[in-house]
Every structure is written in C-alpha cells, then in structure tokens.
Amino acid sequence: MKIKRIDVLCVLLFFSTLITVQAKNRIKEIETLEALVQLASKNGQQIRMKPGVYDLADFLNSDRIAKLLTELPVQTEQQKRPPRWFLRFSGNNNTFDFTGVTIEIDTKLYKELPYGYMRCLFIDGNGNTLKGLTIKNTGSPDIGSNGNILSVFGNNTVLEDVMLYVSGSTYGYGDLFGKGGPVLTTLQKQSGIMVAGQNNILRRCKVFSRAFGHCFYIQTQGHDTRDIVLEDCYAEGAMRTTDDILAEKGGLAEKLNYRSVYENRDGYYLISPGYTKSLSEDGFRTYGGVGKVTLRNCIAKNTRSGFEIGGTNDAVNRTELQGCQAIGTERAFLLGSNVLVRNCRGDIQYGPLLYLRENTIGTDVELELIPSMPKSLVHTIATIAGKNHRIRLYTNDSKISTPALPIMLGFGMPAHAEMSSAIRPMEAENIMLINELENKLIIKNDEAKNLDIKSISPELKNSEVKMMSGRGKW
C-alpha cells in the first residue's frame, strides 16, 4: 500500500510539474517596449514584462514616431479629434502582467503628435487584462496634452492595480480660468483614466493628479458604454486657497488681473477670497448617455467633485455608488438623475456634502456626514433640486460638533458648482428628505411642491429668511 501511495504521489507531482512548465512556456517574457508594441496587436496571449523603468522618450525615436504617424487615424471633418496614442493595445483576449513595471511619459512627447485627442495608452481591443502597471509623467509640468494618460475603448477589459502619477497642464488654479468654455487662457488639460465600452472593470487602480483634469471618467465617445464597474479605486488631487492665489505675484493669476470666468456673490468676475479650490478636476466623473455604472468602495481626496455623476433619466441605467468616500473635496457628491447612493460618506472641509442638481429625477441618496469643521468658506451642507428624489443625511458620530450650516431644499447648486457664486431657488417636487443631522436648519424654497420632510432640525421657508443683498442670493 505504501508503494501504491508513493506511485500515486509521483504521478500527481509529475503532472503538476508538467502543467506548471506548460503554463510557464505559454507566458511570453518581454523586456522592451518594442516587443510590447509588437505583441499588443495580437490575440490570445499571456505576456509578462520584465520589472523596471521604461522611458517612452528613449523608445520613440524619429523613425518610430514617423511610423506611428502613418498608423494614426486621419483627421476628418466628421472626426476632428481622432484618437492618437503612443502605445496601442488593439489585440484581443490578452493578459499583460506589468508587476514592477513603470512607464515614464515625458510631456515633451505630446508635440510629436500634432492633432487629435491624446490617449497615451490606448486599449481598443476586447477581452484584455492589464495588471500592476505604473505610469508617471516626467518633463515640464506646464505641458499638457488636452487628453488623458490611459483610455479604454474595448469591451470586457480588466485593469488591476494600475497606478498613475499625472502632471502637465495649466496648473495651480483649478477651474477658475474656465474648463470647457469660456476660458481665459489655454488649459492644456491632462486627465488620468477614461473608460468607454461595455463590461469593463477597474480594480484597485489609483490616480495621483497634479494636473488640471479628471482622475477617472466614463464617457460614451461614440460607444455603447454600460456595465462599467470600478472597485476599490482611489483618486487624489491637491488643494489651494484663493487667498494664496490672490497673494501670488508674477504668476498667471496676476497676469490675468485675478479674474475668473465665474460671477461671484458681488456680481464681479473676479477670484473671491476665503475659499479653497481643488487644482484637479473630478475624482470620479460620469457623463450623459452612459449606461449602468457601479462605483464600489472608491475614495476621492482633494479633488473638485469627489463623485460627479451625470446620471440618466432612464432608470434601467441607474448609477450605483456603494461604500464610497469623498475627503477634503470642493464638493463631495454632485449627482444627476437615477443615482443610488448607499453607505457613502463625505466631509465639509472645503465644500458641501451634496449637490443634487436641477432638472433631475429619481435619485435615492443616503449620505453620512463625516464630522469636521470647514477650513475655509462653506455655505451649505446640501442643495436639493429636481423631482421624485429620496435623500437621507446622517452621521455616525453625533458627539463631534459640526457647523450649523443649512440644508437647502428647492435650491440649485451655484452656477458651474462654483462656491463663490450665488445659490438660487430652483424647481423641486415630490421630494422626501430625512434629516438626522442636528443643528442643520432646513431652508425650503417657497415654490417647492409635495415635500415630505422628517427632520430633527427646524425648517424655514425661503421667504422667512433674510436674503443676501435683497436679491434672492445666498
């Protein structure tokens, strides 16, 4: 019996070793960007890149750039900004193990590709998995691409443990000089990861942004974009006070006479003192037309909006936020239609916990307020507009004091969500508000209809409250 057992063990060990050797033989080991480019257009491979730092500027010599220019889509009247890339993953059903690999992208390379929408790494094949890759911008921090570092266009894509260190743009002022338009200067936006397509998953990905642009954003870009999942992802920007910007000498703010594209509470298009701005755009952003999206256990820190969700009026395509956090942002959650928020939390260090924007429907929100005191001017806990919403605001630590800021029901977010702009009344109807926050006065728009309010704090109508400047501004 002992001999038979030994024989069986030997056979099992033999086949186990054989399987391991076969699996290893299937893995293609590479150690150059040239090899990566060649394999990234093929199908059904397992590829592992040798750990190390790979400088894209060393790889993209004049011959390779000339070849790349012949491969890029042609600019047409219909497609004025076709994708342009440095590295393209056009093959299908490949797995790339980049553990320990860093790709450096010098911002000087952007000028080598003179037109289109920059997508430095472009994944348009289907069924691909990328693991463990780190990407860093090097070179001048003042040069952006007006695009992003990594774009996903293919379906059934998985990104795991991908980390981006983004720089390069007109940086240091947030969106004070504009974003989409109008603008006071060229912005050279530089974003992190953009996702389109279907059934794409991002797990444990991180974007550290020191540029003006989004960290993560989801758009259609002409695709049927739906069933996108982001899990345990992290977005981080940096903050700067407007007082510091106004004290700046010799910089861009002074050259632009400290103007802003936003009208402040005094009616001037000037930067207002007392506020704090994020120097990036949003941590997590979804745009209109996108189908079902799930954000699970994601964190945004020091970004413009922690989570700005475009939403859709189609309830089938509801966006779900589960266990997400917004820390030290200009506004924690800026939400559109048909968004479901559960077990999420945010603070009011630099701005409101919630903007539920105008002309939205059917959003169901439960948000925890992280106790904190504002470090600069904050005017409200939340503004709520739209129709058929349910909102619950609560805290899990009522012993820690928070400022007596109002919850404004039947008010829109300030124009462009810029806090120094006025908060104005906005249509609201069929709203259920459950307020479990103490000392948070609820101010109701007189014109709001069919309100169901359950609150441990007092309520006042708009007409009962002294108005700022007598013009209905807050």
- Condensed to tens digits (0 to 9), the pLDDT of residues 292-331 reads 999 999 999 999 999 999 988 887 888 999 999 999 999 9
Q: CATH code at 113?
A: 2.160.20
* Predicted pLDDT at 400: 77
* Averaged pLDDT for residues 65-81: 91
- Does 340 fall in a domain? yes
- Does 16 fall in a domain? no
Contacts 24+ apart (CB under 8 A), 39-42: 39/91, 39/94, 40/87, 40/88, 40/89, 40/90, 40/91, 40/94, 40/96, 40/125, 41/88, 41/90, 41/91, 42/91, 42/94
* Predicted pLDDT at 470: 45
* Predicted pLDDT at 469: 37
Does the structure show a pLDDT above 70 at 245? yes
- Does 3 fall in a domain? no
pLDDT in tens, 124-158: 999 999 999 999 999 999 999 999 999 999 999 99
* Averaged pLDDT for residues 25-34: 93
- Alpha-carbon distance values, 289 to 25, 186, 256, 338 (Å): 44, 28, 36, 13
Does the structure show a pLDDT above 50 at 288? yes
Does the structure show a pLDDT above 50 at 23? no
- Alpha-carbon distance values, 161 to 44, 134, 204, 283, 409 (Å): 21, 8, 5, 17, 40
- Does 22 fall in a domain? no
- Does 134 fall in a domain? yes
Q: Cβ atoms within 10 A of the Cβ of 24, count?
A: 11
User: Which residues fall within 8 angstroms of residue 11, CB to CB, at 6 or more apart?
Assistant: none
Phi first, then psi: what are they for 254, rounded to 5°?
-65, -40
Does the structure show a pLDDT above 70 at 25? no
Phi first, then psi: what are they for 295, rounded to 5°?
-115, 120
- Does 153 fall in a domain? yes
pLDDT band at 6 (very low <50, low <70, confident <90, very high): low
**Residue 230, by phi and psi: left (phi above 0), alpha (psi -120 to 50) or beta?**
beta
Q: For the whole model, what pTM was predicted?
A: 0.93
As a whole number of angstroms, the longest Cα–Cα distance in the chain is 97
Q: CA torsion, points 179, 407, 391, 239, in degrees to nearest 10?
A: 40
* Predicted pLDDT at 19: 42
Does the structure show a pLDDT above 80 at 105? yes
- Alpha-carbon distance values, 359 to 356, 362, 465 (Å): 9, 11, 25
Run of H or E including 21: helix 2-26
The single-letter code of the amino acid at 109 is L
**Domain containing residue 166:** 28-464
Angle formed at CA 265 by CA 260 and CA 270, multiple of 5 degrees:
20
Q: Whole-angstrom distance between the N-terminal and C-terminal Cα of the chain?
A: 87
* Averaged pLDDT for residues 403-427: 96
- Does 424 fall in a domain? yes
In terms of pLDDT, which residue wins out, 395 or 19? 395
- Does 23 fall in a domain? no
Q: What is the CA 262 to chain-centroid distance, rounded?
A: 22
Number of domains making up the chain: 1
In terms of pLDDT, which residue wins out, 25 or 395? 395
Considering the chain, what is the average pLDDT of its residues? 93
In terms of pLDDT, which residue wins out, 24 or 38? 38
Counts of helices then strands in the chain (DSSP H, E): 6, 38
* Residue environment code for 268-279, b if the CB has 16+ CB neighbours within 10 A, otherwise e: eebbbbebbbbb
**Alpha-carbon dihedral sign for residues 247, 248, 250, 256:** negative
pLDDT band at 468 (very low <50, low <70, confident <90, very high): very low
Structure tokens at 399: 């012993």
* Averaged pLDDT for residues 159-167: 98
